[in-house]
Structure 1
Amino acid sequence: MTDVTVSSSRPRAILPALEKIYLPLNTSAETLLRVLAGALLAVHGFGKITNPFGAIGMVEGLGFYPGVFWSPLLAATEFFGGILIAIGLLTRPAAFAGMIVLLVTVYFHGIVQGEGLFGAEKSILWAAILFFFAIRGANSQSVDAKLGKQF
């Protein structure tokens, strides 16, 4: 068996015929992940934005004082940050802020509530998705791209 050197940074497909299907969908798949992540984060934050001071006890229970400051900030981060991520505007800072919120929920479920990995796994996955967009930013199918600028 001989070594095959590929000049591109992308490995060759085992089934090259499939490249005709999945290569054109590459950008669309990333956009779908961003839109769904942002939309679901906004939906999750909707209850908090309608009652921005409703989480005062929870945030203070986690050690974030004063709760009157952190509770509305949490609500805005989830709701407005989710909308920004979904449309791809200021994607990196919105995703970074959302990732911090999710890392706090990893701590909350995994350690404070004593649920361990199984209690924190969903938050870990969400934090990883938001980390991806905090580093990568939005793609060509975003408001950031239409403006020609990214943070």
Structure 2
Amino acid sequence: MTDLASGRSRLIVPRLGGLYDRLGESAETLLRVVAGLLLVTHGYGKILNPFGASGMVESLGFYPGAFWSPLLAVTEFFGGILIAIGLLTRPAAFAATIVLLVTVYFHWIVQDQGLGGAEKSILWAAITFYFVIRGANSQSVDARLGRQF
């Protein structure tokens, strides 16, 4: 149910409201840090061999692979770092979202794996898109600088 005066949903267990209020921002920060660090982990191999994915990106129609492969590596590795620390969060998350939507296409259409093959990429894209819209919170470098993109 919604409390019409405040526009907020009423909690089934009202005593949990304070806990939710105190932990909400920390939970959002945890999601951002984990997502960023996992992108770093995923991009680590690519940053060590930035041209290694040239053939794969060209098979998706991104020519020249020598341009797109390093861009992919930078987006995943350095973009992940930026998302994790909350610096330039929106642009880094936007770039990651684009990469992840391409992986949805790759798994679903190119590899013909359907939803089962693309579900992780869909989830990742939804998480990074959340930070495109939301930006970083007060627990971020963006907040410490007092500016967001």
Aligned with residue 107 of structure 2, among 101, 106, 109: 109
Q: Give the secondary-structure state (helix, strand or coil) at the position aligned to 2:9.
A: coil
Give the TM-score normalised by structure 2.
0.97
Equivalents in 2 of 1:95, 1:52: separation in Å? 20
CA deviation after TM superposition for structure 1 residue 122, in Å: 0.3
**Offset, 1:10:** 1.9
Corresponding letter in the other structure for 1:39:
L
Q: Unaligned 5+ residue runs, structure 2?
A: none
2:80 is matched with which residue: 79, 82, 87? 82
Instruction: Give the Cα separation in 1 of the matches to 2:141 and 2:5.
Output: 33
The correspondence for 2:146, drawn from 134, 145, 148, is: 148
CA distance in 2, matches of 1:41, 1:4: 37
* Equivalent residue runs for 1:56-71 within 5 Å: 56-71=54-69
Deviation by residue 1:79-131 (Cα, 9 ceiling, x = unmatched): 00000000000000000000000000000000000000000000000000000
Compute the RMSD of aligned alpha carbons.
1.2
Q: What SS does structure 2 have at the residue aligned with 1:64?
A: coil
| Amino acid paired to 1:19 | G
**Amino acid of the structure 1 residue aligned with 2:28:** E
Q: Please, which of 127, 133, 136 is the counterpart of residue 135 of structure 1?
A: 133
Separation in 2, partners of 1:41, 1:31: 15
1:21 and 1:137 map into 2 onto residues whose CA distance is 23
Alignment partners' CA distance in 2, 1:5 and 1:123: 36
Give the 3 Å change call, closer, same or farther, for CA 4–60 of structure 1 in structure 2.
closer
Q: Structure 1 CA distance, aligned partners of 2:8 and 2:28?
A: 17
Number of equivalent positions: 149
Mapped partners of 1:60, 1:38: distance in 2: 26
Task: Note the 1:2-151 alignment, pairs <5 A.
Answer: 5-151=3-149
- Give 1:6 deviation, angstroms: 3.3
Asked if 1 retains the 8 angstrom alpha-carbon contact of 2:2 and 2:10, the reply is no
Give the deviation of 1:5 after TM superposition.
4.2
How far 1:4 sits from its partner (Å)? 7.2
CA distance in 1, matches of 2:5, 2:26: 26
How big is the shift at 1:139? 0.3
Q: Distance in 2 between matches of 1:35 and 1:5?
A: 33
In 2, are the aligned partners of 1:6 and 1:12 still within 8 Å (CA)?
no
